[in-house]
Amino acid sequence: MSDNTVVKAAKNVVESGEGVARNIWLAGLGLYSRSLEEAQQLNDKTNQLFDELVERGKEVEVQAKECIGRNSEKASEEVEAGMNDLFYRLSGVDREKLERMDEKIDKLTHAVEKLAAAE
């Protein structure tokens, strides 16, 4: 081989190495760009999914509040009925009758006050 051929071969190796290095660099940039795009798409999907879950949560919350309200009313009625039953068993007086008596006493008190004021 002549010196000229060796120099040409060396230049080809260097140019080839520069081409490979440039291609590696460009591949790295391409990978970075693609990663950013996929991350943005994933972020968009995540935000969309989160928003959908929030909307579903609002619907479930309304249903849960209605269910809790119904159960709370029912529980209150059952507790009040139990208390009335216990009160009746302990005192022998029906609570509804007692409440009606209270109303009558209030009316009588008011009528007596009117008569006292008229004198």
Q: What tokens does 20 get?
A: 């490979």
- The string of pLDDT tens digits covering residues 67-76 is 888 888 888 8
> How far apart are the C-alpha atoms of 58 and 51, rounded to whole Å?
11
Mean pLDDT of the region 81-102:
81
- The string of pLDDT tens digits covering residues 33-53 is 999 999 999 999 999 999 999
> Is the confidence at residue 13, as pLDDT, over 70?
no
> Is the confidence at residue 86, as pLDDT, over 80?
yes
In a domain, 9, yes or no: yes
Number of folded domains that form the chain: 1
95, 86 contact by CB (below 8 A): no
Identify the domain containing residue 9 by its residue range: 2-71
In a domain, 55, yes or no: yes
In a domain, 60, yes or no: yes
Residues contacting residue 1 through CB under 8 Å, at least 6 positions apart: 9
Output the average pLDDT for the chain. Answer: 84
In a domain, 82, yes or no: no
In a domain, 100, yes or no: no
Q: What's the helix, strand, coil split of the chain in %, to 5?
A: 95, 0, 5
Instruction: Return the number of other C-beta atoms located less than 10 Å from residue 95's C-beta.
Output: 16
